[in-house]
Structure 1
Amino acid sequence: MALLEIRNLSVEFETVSGAFRAVDGIDISVDRGDLMAIVGESGSGKSVSMLAVMGLLPWTATITADRMEFNGHDLRTLSGRARRKIIGRDLSMIFQEPMSSLNPCFTVGYQIRETLRLHTSLDRKARQTRAIELMEQVGIPAPEKRLSAFPHQMSGGMSQRAMIAMALACEPKLLIADEPTTALDVTIQAQILELLTDLQDRTGMALILITHDMGVVAETVKRVAVQYAGQKVEEQQVEALFDDPHHPYTAALLSALPERSQDRFLPTIPGVVPGQFDRPQGCLFSPRCQFADARCRAVQPQKASAELGYALCHYPLLHGEPQGKEASA
């Protein structure tokens, strides 16, 4: 049985102008010890889908799913009390911006010890010892001193490490890392990613990495799900995805990598991710896709086979060429 099993997850937000669907029919399956990435542009619903799993979306969000289970628990029917026993202990998350996610009114040590107080039976002395151990584990020097620091007294990299320590405090079964290297310099990015993969390998926890950086994906995970405008458009093993992407959006993302460019200028994807008022009738990527035709613009696509990465496309690519286009014409 999968550790996390999600089927047909959708999230809608009520706005003054009407309902906006930020996540649209997403399926996710994560096994124990799995290493997975969710990639896509800003506005693709990556963070929202995981915040729905964590139960951290505001009251304006309406969450529906055919199935949403974690470690045998149905997350759709869990009470608030039961959910709080799981979140932070078995299921944990590193948020995108540490400086705004850490409470500025309390020291880093207090916030880590609070997590331990709520989810473990450790006494005060044991919680302090464990907090020091966690700070050392994530590579923070002089941990006893840093535990007394407030978030604003720490650098971005140190704050990110402190948040990782907090997320790992109870040795979760699944860790969701939402853009864990945002706003960090390249050296610190590499250190944070190496830290996460080392901890995953050592503890056996599952890891979901949310990112828009395909270079990070290539170096870190085993499996990749690509999201666009709230939909999952492709899922493959990382090597297969980079060798032969099957959705035009995935291919466009990969072609924009500097190391793949054959020209002076990097190729770009024209247009923007559709919002509430400009969503196409057919394929959501059709206004930006070089292979789109009248069918793409009028009819919503169905998922392709597993051999084609479940690509949500009328004409999934195979070695760079659209399949079935000639027959439909």
Structure 2
Amino acid sequence: MTLLDIRNLTVTFATRRGAFTAVDGVDVAVDRNEVLAIVGESGSGKSVAMLAAMGLLPKTATVTADRMNFDGLDLMALSADRRRRLAGKDMAMIFQEPMTSLNPCFTVGFQIGETLSAHLGLARKARAARVVELLAEVGIPDPARRARAYPHQLSGGMSQRVMIAMALACRPKLLIADEPTTALDVTIQAQILDLLLRLRRENGMGLVLITHDMGVVAETADRVIVQYAGQQVEASPTRALFADPHHPYTAALLAALPERATERRLPAIPGVVPGQFDRPAGCLFSPRCAFAFSACHRIAPRRAGPELGAALCHTPLAAGVPQPGALQEAGA
């Protein structure tokens, strides 16, 4: 059975100048012991989609979905209290900035202990022992001493490991890691990723990895979802996506990898991800797309079949060559 199953997720935020759709019709499915990567530029709605699944969005957000199930539970039907008890225990999240996610006023041991107290009801002595055990598990040396340290006394890599320990405290069934290696040096990045994969194997949990680093995706993920401007533009097994991308945005992301560059200067995607007030008509990627034709600027694309990576494109790429889409065949 699929651990996390979300269909047609939409997240809209109320603003003074009207509603803004940050996530538009996204599907997410994660099995037990599977690594799913969600990639895309900043502003693609990656974090918002997963925060919606966790129930951590502010009151200004409106979340709708055809289906949002976790381990057989309908998340949309659960009470707020039941969602709070689920988040942090069976579903856990490693947030993007460990230095700002940890409370500077309390020791890291106290903060991890709060999770154990709230969800497992452990007594003080049992909590202290479990905190030391968790810090040792994530590779922090001298864990008993580090448990008494404050966040400002730890390096970025240490803080990230503390966040991982906190997320894993209750042995969750699903772990969402939001940019877990941002702002860390390459050596620490590799250690953190190895740690997440090892703990995933040992605990049999599902892992959702939110990232913009395609190199990390290639090394760790079983499947990949590519998002752009809140929309899911492609979804495919990792090996297939790297070998034969079907959406022009995916192809452009892969072309920007240094190991794939054929010129001295790395290729770049012109322009920026559209925001609330500059969203184009038709395909949202059309102003930046090298393969766009007239219909792309006027008509929203339909999703292709799974054999073409479920690409949201009028002309899904096949073996790197744009193919005639349904609109072209109909004379659009």
- Paired residue secondary structure (1:93): strand
The within-5 A match list for 1:123-272 is: 123-272=123-272
Aligned to 1:276: 276
Query: Structure 1 residue 328: deviation in Å?
Result: 5.4
2:20 equivalent to 1:20: yes
2:34 equivalent to 1:34: yes
What one-letter code is carried by the residue in structure 2 that aligns with 1:220? T
The within-5 A match list for 1:67-82 is: 67-82=67-82
Query: Structure 1 residue 327: deviation in Å?
Result: 3.8
2:114 equivalent to 1:114: yes
After superposition, give the CA deviation of every residue in 1:172-227 in whole Å (9 maximum; x if it has no partner). Answer: 00000000001111111110001000111111110000000000101111110000
- Paired residue secondary structure (1:10): strand
Distance 1:133 1:302 in 2: 50
After superposition, give the CA deviation of every residue in 1:22-68 in whole Å (9 maximum; x if it has no partner). Answer: 00010111111111100000000000000111111111111111111
- Paired residue secondary structure (1:127): helix
What one-letter code is carried by the residue in structure 2 that aligns with 1:92? A
After superposition, give the CA deviation of every residue in 1:265-303 in whole Å (9 maximum; x if it has no partner). Answer: 100101110111111111110110011111111111111
What one-letter code is carried by the residue in structure 2 that aligns with 1:17? R
Aligned to 1:318: 318
Identity %: 68
Unaligned stretches of 5+ residues in structure 2: none
Give the stretch that moved more between structures: 77-86 or 133-142.
77-86
Distance 1:35 1:316 in 2: 25
Distance 1:322 1:48 in 2: 31
The normalised TM-score by structure 1 is 0.98
Query: Structure 1 residue 77: deviation in Å?
Result: 2.0
- Paired residue secondary structure (2:13): strand
Distance 1:262 1:235 in 2: 26
Aligned to 2:302: 302
Aligned to 2:91: 91
Distance 1:85 1:54 in 2: 11
- Paired residue secondary structure (1:226): strand
Distance 2:206 2:7 in 1: 19
Distance 1:85 1:175 in 2: 15
- Paired residue secondary structure (1:59): coil
Distance 1:185 1:62 in 2: 37
Distance 1:162 1:210 in 2: 19
The normalised TM-score by structure 2 is 0.97
- Matched pairs, number: 329
Aligned to 2:52: 52
Distance 2:23 2:84 in 1: 24
- Paired residue secondary structure (1:100): helix
